[in-house]
Structure formats: structure tokens, C-alpha cells
Amino acid sequence: MTMQTRVFIVHMLPARASRFFARASAAGMMTEGYVWIVTDNVGISLDVLPQHTIETMQGVVGFRPYVAKSARNIDFVGRFIARIGAKYHQHPNIRIAKPTIYQFWAYDVAWAVAIATEKVKRFRFSNKCFQMPEGMNRSLIDTLLPSPVGPEVLGAILETDFDGLAGRFTLVDRHMQVPVYEIVNVIGDQAKGIGFWSPASGLSRILNSSTSHGQTNFSIDAGEIQWPGGSKMVPKGWDLPVNGKILRIGVPIRHAFNIFMSVDTIKKGRT
């Protein structure tokens, strides 16, 4: 009889994950014995998902890029919430969520482009290379011409290295690097940090200076993971099927080789 798995890895957009876990909860699959792991696609958005979605994700374990708190990103979060709140102050039903690492990355990328542009403008080309053609309507993006210094700006962006909101901004093979991931567990109305993972150190409950690129030692009160159904015991990850066929074993009754196998009749019709 084939064992039925109880471990599932979810990799999808947050909006689809919201509907998916609602269906899983309705099907009774968010109960004790199940294991749900979400990738960073969902993990990044755990702090901004609607409350009714979080209620259906109790016990879910996920991971997301770790962002150390700093004076800069704390100030950014405050200004972000204040600006969005001022924009929608006439709509009290709109929930103002904190920015996620996606907003931090967007901010850092904008800074990288600005730094690279200033570098190219200052040392390699004249200001004319960055001026818009005369008579061009600034709202017509489609009419913008390719910049003759585009390759130079791209090269400068790839070489840009600075401390951003999300940590150290550096590109390797044209991709942003995530040195440390935070492992979280959905408990109550929030995602609680329970540990870290990095390529250099693997799984750990303490974030040290070698994995956080200059950050001081940092530890969290991991405690025990709360699995679906509120259980603190590690699930087996499998279970016997409840609606499968009964496994029947046929035993031949022979008088030879009794040392290896013998059949004794206990009751009529049963052995």
C-alpha cells in the first residue's frame, strides 16, 4: 500500500497562494500531520497578506530574504506609511501595509541607476548625452530615443556597490545577491522568525557576523515550530490512505520448511 505524503511545498504568487490555502483549509488539509512550506514568493508577503488569509495558513513554514533593521530602513518605513496614509486618508477602510523587501529593492535599484548615471555623466560624457531632444513631450515615453551612453551606464550599474535599504547592494552575473534567508513560522497573526539559512553556514538559529556581512551577532528566540493544527510534534510527513484498498497477503499452507514459516489455525476461517 502506497503511503500518502503530507509534505507540500508551495511556490506561487501571493494572490494565488491566498486562494490556495483557503481551499486547503476547507479540505481539512491544514490540520495535524500536514507540513506546508512556502518559498520566498509567498514568504516575502506574509506580513502584508490579509488577516483572513493568515488565519488559513497557521503552522506554515516559509523563508524570505533577511533584512537587518537599520536607521535608514526604519526611517524609510515611517515615511512610506506616512505618504501612503496621506494619499488615502479619505478611505479609512484601506489597510496601509508596511513595505516589503520588494520596495526596498526597488529603492536600492533606483539609487544604483542614479549613482551610475552621475558617474558616467561626470567622468566620461558631456551633459548633452543625457538631455532630451528639443520639442519632445516628456509624457510620451514611446518616443524616447536610445541613449548613446546606454552601454556605459549599464556597465556602471553592474559595478555599483553600496549599502542600501535591503543590505549591501551588489550584482553578481547581473543578479542581486541574498546572503541570508530568514526562516519564519506563521503563528497567530504574524510570521515569527525561527532561524536563518545561508549558503556558507546552512541552517542556524543565530545570525553571526560572518553570515550577515558586518552585522553584529544576532539571535532569536526560536522555541518550537508550531505545525498545522497547533501541534508542536514534528509530523511524520506521510500517512496511510483512508480510502484505499485493504492490503491482503496470501500465505501458502505447506508442510515443508516449517522452520521458516508455519500456519496455525486459531478459529474457523481465521489463521
pLDDT of residue 144: 66
Q: What is the reported pLDDT for 66?
A: 93
Who contacts 36 (Cβ-Cβ below 8 Å, separation ≥6)?
8, 10, 21, 24, 30, 57, 59, 60, 61, 228
Mean pLDDT by 10 residues, the chain (271 residues): 80 93 94 93 92 94 92 92 85 81 94 91 59 57 71 91 92 89 93 89 74 46 76 82 69 69 64 47
Amino acid identity of residue 93, one-letter, is N
- Give which of 63, 18, 77 is closest to 185, Cα–Cα: 63
Q: Which pLDDT score, from 0 to 100, does residue 57 have?
A: 96
DSSP code string of 32-94 = TT-EEEE-HHHHTTTTTS-HHHHHTTTT-EEEEE-----HHHHHHHHHHHHHHHHHTTT-TTS
Angle between helices 71-87 and 101-123 (to 10 degrees): 110
Task: State the pLDDT at residue 126.
Answer: 54
Describe the chain by its helix, strand, coil percentages, rounded to 5: 30, 20, 50
Query: Domain coordinates of the chain in residue numbers?
Result: 1-65+180-271, 67-178
pLDDT of residue 128: 52
Cα 192 to Cα 173: distance, rounded to the nearest angstrom: 33
Look up residue 208 and give its DSSP letter: -
Q: Does domain 1-65+180-271 have CATH number 1.10.3470?
A: no
pTM of the model: 0.73
Q: Which fold has domain 67-178?
A: Rossmann fold (3.40.50)
- The reply to whether domains 1-65+180-271 and 67-178 share a CATH topology is yes
CA-closest candidate to residue 73, choices 107, 46, 41, 112: 107
Distance in angstroms (rounded) separating the CA atoms of residues 50 and 64: 18
